[in-house]
Structures are given as structure tokens and as C-alpha cells.
Structure 1
Amino acid sequence: MSTQMEITYTFNAPRELVFKAFTESQHLRNWWGPKGWDFQVAKADFQPGGVFHYSQKPADGGDIMWVKFEYSEIVTSEKIVYTSFFSDEEGNVVRAPFDANWPLKTLNTLTFIEDKGKTTLTTIIVPVSPTEEEYKTFFSSREIVQDGFSGTYDQLAEYLKI
């Protein structure tokens, strides 16, 4: 069984622009997260050792979810590596609100490759130290995760046309 999920998406935009959309909160707030959800940035420090902490709330008025990224590597226009997890408002790790068996943390590696003015983004997601149950939950959710990222990347593709 594979130990990672891989999602590839090609944007009709230059690499520097796509990279900026991931590392500048004034861009991120316009496209990140589920469509139609309210998105608020609590902290955005895009550098190794920095964090991105945000909340998102469903349009139907459901509960606010907090998420935090901890950046370990950023190579301008080429690569972003971060650990992500659901958090409370203070940024402490909490269980995913949708499944108690979701891995507490995932390691995310994004690589940006430009070819003829288009940028291919490869996202690799690996659970960090999962239990057997968390591992099973993560991989049984492959389609949901893929759909979630594809929907978010569709929103970025639309945003980049502006």
C-alpha cells in the first residue's frame, strides 16, 4: 500500500505567480479552502519555522474549523514543505472535527514546475506517525482529499485569471 497521496494540477499561469498565491495571505484569502466558506487569517508567516493559522466556516453556518501549517522548507518559486493539522483558536493540535481517526498531522510537499508559461503543481501528502487506524482512515479518504484539493485548485485557477 502506498504511504502517500499525490495530487497534480496544472495552472495556466507562470510559476512565480502561482507560488505567490500560496505564500501571500492577500492572495490566499481569495481562493483557499472549500468553495463558499468564510476564511479568516489569524497569522501568516511564510518562512521556514513560520506558521499559517486560519479559520474556515461553512456557508451553512456550521462550526468554525481552525487549521495550522508549520513551514519547514520554502524554496522561492519551487517548493513549499509544511506540516498541517487541525487546531484550536490558540493553535494547539486537536482532532479533525469530521473524523476522530484522521491523522493528527500530515506532511505536505508542494513542488512548482513551469513549462511554456504553465505551472504544474505536485502536492504530496503523508500522514505523520499515524496509528494503524489513522493510516486506514487517511487512505480510505483518498477520493475526498483529492476532490477537496482539486476543488481548491480550481478556485485558484479561476482567481489567477483575474
Structure 2
Amino acid sequence: MDNNLSQLFEISITRVFNAPRELVFKAWTELGHFAKWWGPKGGILEIVKMDAHSGGEFLGIQTAPDGNQVMWTKFAYQEVVEPEKVAYIRSFSDEQGNTVRAPFSVSWPLEIMNIISLEDDEGKTILNLKGCPVNASAEEQEAYKGMVPKLQQDIEGTFDKLADYLAFLH
């Protein structure tokens, strides 16, 4: 997986979920689960395509909680190892899945690598997320670094939704 990572991982979040690792993995890789929890609180995700395996792709449209902002997003799955790892490059896109600039910043990196690792802990799951820009210019790296606190807050909110979803299932 040589994607010219710009630096060491700039985001690192660990979260423990009260659900078995196999279920948490399915929540990340199966369309029927993923659509029910991914994204900001109050947001809506419509999945156009989800092929969560190494070399596969995800394409979806997210509507912001206020209903005013609509953004296409895609994942290029780099490595998917059941039930322990999901690595993907996330980008903003158009309806056809072509990578485009973020609607909120011309200096936002085009590609963000995310690596999710899942560890079993006596029936619970320890999830580690690491993220950083890929092939980013110095300006893009700085824009990403400046947004790390907001990104961490957004990811924690998404993980809260995942925890609620897993509690409903489990």
C-alpha cells in the first residue's frame, strides 16, 4: 500500500464498542448496516455503490442535517481484511465518482487515507482509526492540520451513531 503518505498519521482515535468484532466489521463493510449510521448526526446518507473489498469502491451522497448542503463522497478501498481491517482513501466526488475539490475549501486535500483496525477484547471491539492526507501539497497538509480538532469532533459524533446502532442490533 504505497500511496506516498504525506506524513505520519495526523488523526488517531481509539474507541471501544460493546459489540463483537465481526458485527463491527459488518457495520463498516455491508451496505445495509453502513447506511444506517455513517455521517454527521442528523445527516442522511444515500449509497449509490458499495463494494467493500480490496480494490472496491464506495460512492454515496450525504445531505447535511440542515438539508442545505449535499456532498458526494467516495472511498477507494485499499485493503479489507475480515474482520480486522478496513483501509480506504476518501475523496469528495461528483455523481460519476470523479474526484473533485471539497465544496468548503480549495486547499483541502483531494485524498485522505483512513485505516480502521478492529481488535477483539472479550466480546467488545477496540476500534483504532488513523487518518492523513495522501499526495498532498504543503498547503493541503496545513489545511488538514488546521481542521484536525473539528475532524476529531465529527468522527466522534459518527462513532456515537455507530455505538447507538450497534446497541440497537446487539
TM-score (norm 1): 0.96
- Residues 65-144 of structure 1 mapped to structure 2, 5 A cutoff: 65-144=71-150
**SS across alignment from 1:161:** helix
Aligned mates of 1:4, 1:61 — CA distance in 2: 30
Residue correspondence of structure 1 range 55-70 to structure 2 within 5 A? 55-70=61-76
1:90-145 deviation digits (Å, cap 9, x = unpaired): 10011111121110001111100111111111111120111111101101111111
Name the counterpart of 1:153.
Answer: 159
| Aligned-pair Cα RMSD in Å | 1.2
What is the CA deviation profile of residues 74-104 of structure 1, one whole-angstrom value per residue up to 9, with x for unaligned ones? 1101011111100001100111111211100
Higher mean displacement: 101-110 or 2-11: 2-11
- For the Cα contact (< 8 Å) 2:10–2:148, is it kept in 1? no
Shift of 1:4: 2.4
Equivalent pairs counted in the alignment come to: 162
Give 2:48's aligned residue. 42
Q: Which runs of 5+ in 1 are unaligned?
A: none
In 2, the alpha carbon distance for the partners of 1:32 and 1:61 equals 16
- Give the distance between the partners of 1:67 and 1:104, measured in 2 at CA: 11
Cα shift at 1:15: 0.4
Structure 2, unmatched stretches of 5+, are 1-6
> What's the offset of the Cα at 1:54?
0.4
Determine what percentage of the aligned residue pairs are the same residue: 44
**What TM-score do the two structures reach when normalised by structure 2?**
0.92
Give, in angstroms, the shift of residue 36 of structure 1.
Answer: 1.0
Q: Find the aligned partners of 1:43 and 1:93 in 2 and give their Cα distance.
A: 15
Distance, in Å, in 1 between the alignment partners of 2:25 and 2:67 is 31
Counterpart-to-counterpart distance in 1, 2:10 and 2:149: 13
Q: Which runs of 4+ in 1 moved over 4 A?
A: none
